[in-house]
Amino acid sequence: MSVAPPTISAVDAMKELSAAATVGRTPAAAIELTPAQRRTLEGLIGNGVRPVFAPELAQRLRDRIEEAVRTAELERPLWVGKSLLNDLGRCPGLFDAVRSGEREPFAFSSRFASGRLVHKAIELEVAGREDRDPHALASAAAERLNEDEAFSAYWSGLDELRQDETLMEAAKTIELFRSTMPPLRRLRRELSPSTEWNVRVELLGGALVLSGTMDLVIGAPAAAEPGRATRLAIDLKTGKAWPEHAEDMRFYALLLTLRFGVPPYRVATLYLDSGEWQAEDVDRPMLDRAADRVVEAVRAASAADRGHPTPLRPGPYCTWCPRAATCPSSAAPTAAMA
């Protein structure tokens, strides 16, 4: 990886934006930033020199994965996302059960519905034409999500009081987002924010598919300098940090690299409850690590397809494993009691 002088599109615009924010103005309009918003702008989004990556990096990563697993015999195409990789890290038996489709059919839960509502509201916040108060934004998000049959069935099954409680929880999270991030809707020209990025990469002629959805991506490609990293990928979370979150973002860095040919300059998990983040600048060792985790998943799936014994590592995750009742190493009863 080499570092070159900054370009206007990648760095100078960010310096101009940061300097303007200090006096409460942007190149587009007068905007006052709170201390928390300025901290995120300067500390997370940043205004430093962006790295330049070798043009052949994406192909090298693709070759690294494909050459390592070319002889693997998969009975069916393998779809790999961040959750499946985490399952493999917990227990290969859990990984095999999930990738084999042994989980019960998906059903909306209160937590999942709330998450969908918040993410849709943030999408409307970034893409909207006008300011709305958080509760109105949450209500608009619920209305839009009612176009989804599964969400509509869940939502209509709630009584009015439960709907109001869910909307209020979403409104509180929206306010946390607004209080932490600079006003992305008003800075769309400068920051190029976009939400809910669905990215997919096909390898081995479609036998291996990598996919993921990124909550928020900031930055646009530098047309004058194709190899310069200009994007920041962010996952939005409530609650506390977990080790898996860092691995999730490394996987997203790999996805973006393979899909667009240039890595993001940074990936991060932003915890809205605290306003803190877990960020990591992207480099070649990080991408190699993410690629090797994918290789490990393919090899584990291939070994299971050939009937090799599946290693078992019991733990608290046994409680949600589809094979908990039959696994000889299951810790589900103990974990449930704890």
Angstrom distance (rounded) from CA 255 to CA 244: 16
Q: Please measure the distance between the N-terminal and C-terminal CA atoms of the chain and give it in whole angstroms.
A: 48
Residues 6+ apart with CB under 8 A from 237: 245, 269, 270, 271, 272
Instruction: Identify the pLDDT of residue 47.
Output: 84
Domain ranges for the chain = 8-45, 57-102+190-305, 110-188
Instruction: Mention every residue, 6+ apart, whose C-beta is less than 8 A from residue 338.
Output: 316
Q: Which DSSP string corresponds to 116-176?
A: HHHHHHHHHHHH-SS---HHHHHHHHHHHHTTSHHHHHHHHTS-HHHHHHHHHHHHHHHHH
Instruction: Give the pLDDT of the chain (338 residues) as one tens digit per residue.
Output: 333 333 334 344 444 444 444 333 344 346 889 999 999 999 999 988 899 999 999 999 999 999 999 888 888 899 999 999 999 999 999 999 999 999 887 777 888 888 999 999 999 999 988 889 999 999 999 999 999 998 999 999 999 999 999 999 999 999 999 999 999 999 999 999 999 999 999 999 999 999 999 999 999 988 778 899 999 999 999 988 998 999 999 999 999 999 999 999 999 999 999 999 999 999 999 999 999 999 999 999 999 999 998 899 999 999 989 999 999 999 887 544 34
Identify the pLDDT of residue 23. Answer: 33
Which residues 6+ apart lie within 8 Å of 225 measured at CB? 4, 7, 9, 10, 52
Specify the pLDDT at position 22.
38
CATH top-level class of 57-102+190-305: alpha beta
**Residue holding tokens 């877990």?**
278
pTM of the model: 0.88
Count CB-CB contacts under 10 A for residue 24: 11
Query: Of 56, 59, 19, which is closest to residue 41 (Cα–Cα)?
Result: 19
CA geometry: angle 107, 74, 245, nearest 5 deg = 50
pLDDT per residue over 270-286, tens digit each? Answer: 999 999 999 999 999 99
Q: pLDDT tens digits for 62-92? A: 999 999 998 888 888 999 999 999 999 999 9
Do β-strands 266-271 and 276-281 pair in parallel, antiparallel, or remain unpaired? Answer: antiparallel
The torsion defined by the Cα of 20, 120, 103 and 86, in degrees rounded to 10, comes to 0
Please, what sign has the CA dihedral across residues 251, 253, 258, 259?
positive
Question: Do residues 70 and 204 touch, judged by C-beta distance below 8 A?
Answer: yes
